Structure 1
Amino acid sequence: MDRRTFIKNSTLTGIALSAFPSTYSFGSILDPVAKAPNNLQPLPIPPLIDTSQNELTQLNIINGMSEFYKGISTKTCGINADFLGPALKVRKGKTANIQVNNDLDETITLHWHGLEIPGSKDGGPHQMVKAGEAWKVELPITQPAATCWFHPHQYPRTAELVIRGIAGLIIIEDEESDALNLPSDWGINDIPVIIQDRKFNKQGQFDYELLDIINVATGFAGDTMLVNGALNPVVDVPQGWVRFRALNGSNARSYLLSFSDHREFYVVASDSGFLEKPVPMKSIHVSAGERFEILIKVDENTQCDLVTHPLHQMGMMAPPFDEIVPLLTIRSNQTVSKGTLPEQLTTIKRHKIEDVKTKRDFVLEMGEGLDYQAMMLLRKKKSAMTQRMVMAGSKMPMDDLKDKSRPMLSPEDLKAINGINGKPFDMNVIDEEVKRGELEHWVISQGKDMMLHPFHIHGCRFQVLSINGEQPSPHLMGWKDTVPVFPQGITEVLVRFEHEAQRNLPYMAHCHILEHEDTGMMIQFTVT
């Protein structure tokens, strides 16, 4: 049975689906005759750079050309490569010495997403590296083993720069991770999986515009999947336990991941470190910016796909995402994996609500009329997505779309239309002042929209207290730095900041739908 037939015939218990794809569907407007993906190409594995030897690691941000489709060159950006970048291996107790060289013709920043480091080293929007210049930074690693990542944070251009390909992984190791005997042969039984969606125009270039009403409302929705920068890749893995480090590196889209053969897998780590024990699951929701490490058992007959299922996320159910979409083919080879699945991974000391010193409330808000105009444009395009947005829970009835009295939003309006606590982000305003070392209770909720908002806090790792009033699922009981806030929902976290962030180089907290971040759904705060 071939890959496509297998996916077509697959079903997954507990996930309601009305149809299954019989072929791969790529909806970009690139000429379908010319559009021949490199089917079943080997999964690209980013080079692993060991930074623990005190040598200076050079990260060169460059323009590049990439061939996603045979014979078609796409303009991209990357770090030491044409698209994406390396994985940096860092070690607790060591300092990573990094030099970021900006070889683009524009200003950029580079944020170390998930690292607990001072604001002066965080790489937020205030730490701009001008064209042709360099930023030398020492990153003291004080936190436990985890999978983190780095990407631009140039306000208001983060979304576009990430689309172009500027991103890479950070692999933190420590004595505890050494002792666990998890699969750790990079690219062999320890596999990075960077999941991103893109859209291509007729010329085979990335099709993206920030100040597009639909993008600003729902976040960018691509129709073509890339894994580690490749379409339809395949990875051959040894028999035994294999580890996948999954990063949702998309601008906005969430994924509901599973395996096409319905297998059970084990989640061993979330954003900021190991769970106490492996959590068995058959599907997992991963929102933009989140990471999970999962283990599967491979035998001599293994051939399956990592797939994503339809999700009721506003604006994200247009084809092919109204069906199961394969991401990565996994095949066993004749070698044997050295790693194991431990029964116990770590011990997590739980924060206590009675130790909280300060409680803060954050309401994530989209601009008045934004969802209305996005739906109106979708209807004008006769897109099935409009109906799906309503079905997903929008309170706006279809009749309201006939109301033409509302003024149209201009590109200037869109620049700061989203916000937190009633106001858009302002580079010159410090929104909160936090005391270093004190436990805080953050309550993140939504305004009137029906979006899913992944919320990321810089400079820390936190524990999820509740999601919509309920205790989080076991795989969310570890350390996190990004967490979903579901439509009309409330997510509560307990957080303590161990490093300082001064007024000139503050920390950020924001929606990790990058189009929301770039149009105002972000705050900045100090830690002293």
Structure 2
Amino acid sequence: MTHTTGKTPGKSTGKGMHRRKFLGGMAGAGIAAVTAGGTAIALLTNATQNKAHAAGTTLTIPDLLEGTTTDGTTTFTLEAKAGTSEVLSGVTSTTAGYNQSFLGPTMKWTSGDTVLLNITNSLTEDTTVHFHGAHVPPSMDGGPQNSFAAGKTWSPTFTVKDEAKTLWYHPHALGTTAEQATHGLAGMIIVEDDSDASAALPSTYGTDDIPIILQCLATDSAGDIKYNLTGYLSNGLSFPLLCNGTNVDDTTLSFTATKKRTRFRLLNASPSDIITIQRSDGATLTQIATDQGYLTEATEVASIRLVAGARAEFVMELSDAVTLEAVVTTGWVRGGSGTYEFLTVTPDTSDTPETLPTLNTITRYDTSDFTARTITLGQSGTTMTINGSAGTSMSSMAMISTTLGAEEVWTVKNSTQLEHSFHLHDVPFQLISINGEDPTGVQLGWYDTFEVVGGGSIEIAMKFTDFSDDTYMYMLHCHLLQHEDEGMMASLMVTDS
């Protein structure tokens, strides 16, 4: 077996065909290192989605969840429940979803608005719902302290303080995050604002503003979805790639663009694998946003590399059809591997979009007076740790304490030879260095999730604003969900003083 290096995968050489993922793709160094729609777009009902899956042609657009606004508060209703779906083509799997059998609807929040979420747990075990990337009070963050039992409803409410960006929501209870998320409990959140950039960018959901949720899962031939070390090391596994819930291992989905400029929102909702998006013709993508919002300007990139939990946005202006590829790289002990032509976008339009304006102003932090910390990602056998502590319970995990208004720079050091996807709740961060090198290009944007390769390190800078609490904590952890469940998670307490 070889270590995951974190290098960008090579370009596919075979156009017009899929590469099968290698069964049993490996990373790590032995067991000790083992873990280490209805438009056609119409928004589709579950029954119609199943038909679309069988046909394997049209991209399914997740439903847009309608909120109800009363007295200045917009209320959204979600139900976490079990269901069935075809994760492996032609095979029925037991799955879970929000308001449906697999995945969940997209929510739209508007910056400055107050939202209330009534979330009912119809599972058979505790769950939480974490608003990944959202700047919300710790008591509303959906971390392990917010878990609620089967049959109960949790109703967080807060003012949306985020600017325009792509977020997502998923479970975050202790020890069950990987199991619940891999079975389908995940959905996208779109935050809108009134900035000039937002006004100039495509924003009609399902028409020229398109969600792309990619998942590389693990399943046996009977459709049983695997989520832990025992499952991933079992025999006869496949690692299907899903796009918005549709298996694209042998199918290229289609989308007809009725606007010349089309915006795509990417989310890697895989439990552990890395996904790189590129064009099959070798041309560039125009990236406009990272995890935490707009770049300063639209930037041409050869590809977009997303570790587990990461997001990005890009636009395309097309005169001819373009096929998008997903290059999947194993991020954990075993997982997906290969290149997939997952979506062909065909233009049917004659409009002429205006030139994009400057998107954002990002002032780089001067960290000379910032408080410095070191966060060490480690392991002991198959137990994962942060700063030497395994976060498998609230009492056993390391706790980072800071204060409201603090300005800090963290060196996140990977003392293992495993791949890690570092995620910080609450506040966005800027990259100061990556493996000793200065960030460039899109790396100068805002993030909440970033790759830390085996033996590598990143320096990140952040300011703690708006929220403090002496009871509820945020989390910092590896977003390889198996690593999180195995202890690579610490708590972050932000107090007034």
Which TM-score applies when normalising by structure 2?
A: 0.84
- Is 1:361 matched with 2:374? yes
| Residue pair 2:263, 2:315 contacting (<8 A) in 1 also | yes
Amino acid in the other structure paired with 1:360: R
1:421 is matched with 387
Amino acid in the other structure paired with 1:118: P
* Cα pair distance change 1:101/1:310, threshold 3 Å: closer
How is 1:42-81 mapped onto 2 (pairs within 5 angstroms)?
Answer: 42-49=58-65, 51=67, 53=69, 54-68=73-87, 72-81=91-100
- Is 1:261 matched with 2:281? yes
Which residue of the other structure, out of 346, 349, 356, is the alignment partner of 1:342?
Answer: 356
Which residue of the other structure, out of 286, 290, 312, is the alignment partner of 1:270?
Answer: 290
- Is 1:432 matched with 2:446? no
- Is 1:25 matched with 2:20? yes
SS in 1 for 2:178: helix
How is 1:303-318 mapped onto 2 (pairs within 5 angstroms)?
Answer: 304-309=322-327, 311=329, 313=331, 315=333
Q: How many Å separate the matches in 2 of 1:292 and 1:103?
A: 31
| Residue pair 2:404, 2:468 contacting (<8 A) in 1 also | no
Task: Quote the offset at 1:105 in angstroms.
Answer: 1.5
- Is 1:202 matched with 2:216? no
Task: Quote the offset at 1:49 in angstroms.
Answer: 2.8
Deviations 1:7-34 (A, max 9, x none): xxxxxxx9646864844526679xxxxx
2:206 is matched with 187
2:311 is matched with 291
| Residue pair 2:87, 2:246 contacting (<8 A) in 1 also | yes
Q: How many residues align?
A: 449
* Cα pair distance change 1:139/1:271, threshold 3 Å: same
Which residue of the other structure, out of 340, 345, 364, is the alignment partner of 1:325?
Answer: 340
Q: How many Å separate the matches in 1 of 2:404 and 2:233?
A: 37
1:390 is matched with none
Task: Quote the offset at 1:41 in angstroms.
Answer: 2.7
| Residue pair 2:95, 2:101 contacting (<8 A) in 1 also | yes
Q: How many Å separate the matches in 1 of 2:68 and 2:421?
A: 32
Task: Quote the offset at 1:234 in angstroms.
Answer: 2.2
Which residue of the other structure, out of 439, 447, 459, is the alignment partner of 1:472?
Answer: 439
How is 1:83-122 mapped onto 2 (pairs within 5 angstroms)?
Answer: 83-122=102-141
* Cα pair distance change 1:519/1:266, threshold 3 Å: same
Task: Quote the offset at 1:178 in angstroms.
Answer: 6.5
Q: How many Å separate the matches in 2 of 1:181 and 1:168?
A: 25
SS in 2 for 1:335: coil
| Residue pair 1:241, 1:340 contacting (<8 A) in 2 also | no
Task: Quote the offset at 1:201 in angstroms.
Answer: 2.0
SS in 1 for 2:358: coil
Which residue of the other structure, out of 137, 160, 166, is the alignment partner of 1:141?
Answer: 160
Task: Quote the offset at 1:183 in angstroms.
Answer: 1.1
Q: Which runs of 5+ in 1 are unaligned?
A: 1-13, 30-35, 371-416
Amino acid in the other structure paired with 1:362: I
Q: How many Å separate the matches in 1 of 2:58 and 2:315?
A: 20
SS in 2 for 1:366: strand
Q: How many Å separate the matches in 1 of 2:464 and 2:421?
A: 20
The alignment's C-alpha RMSD in Å is: 2.6
Task: Quote the offset at 1:351 in angstroms.
Answer: 1.6
Q: How many Å separate the matches in 1 of 2:160 and 2:233?
A: 36
Q: How many Å separate the matches in 2 of 1:46 and 1:313?
A: 27
1:492 is matched with 459
Task: Quote the offset at 1:504 in angstroms.
Answer: 3.2
| Residue pair 2:373, 2:409 contacting (<8 A) in 1 also | yes
Task: Quote the offset at 1:283 in angstroms.
Answer: 1.2
SS in 2 for 1:43: coil
| Residue pair 1:458, 1:508 contacting (<8 A) in 2 also | yes
Q: Which runs of 5+ in 2 are unaligned?
A: 1-7, 25-51
Bigger shift: 167-176 or 498-507? 498-507
* Cα pair distance change 1:492/1:169, threshold 3 Å: same
* Cα pair distance change 1:505/1:90, threshold 3 Å: same
2:41 is matched with none
1:389 is matched with none
Deviations 1:453-481 (A, max 9, x none): 11001111111111112121311211111
| Residue pair 1:119, 1:502 contacting (<8 A) in 2 also | yes
1:167 is matched with 186
Task: Quote the offset at 1:451 in angstroms.
Answer: 1.9
| Residue pair 1:215, 1:515 contacting (<8 A) in 2 also | no
Task: Quote the offset at 1:349 in angstroms.
Answer: 2.1
Q: How many Å separate the matches in 1 of 2:459 and 2:372?
A: 10
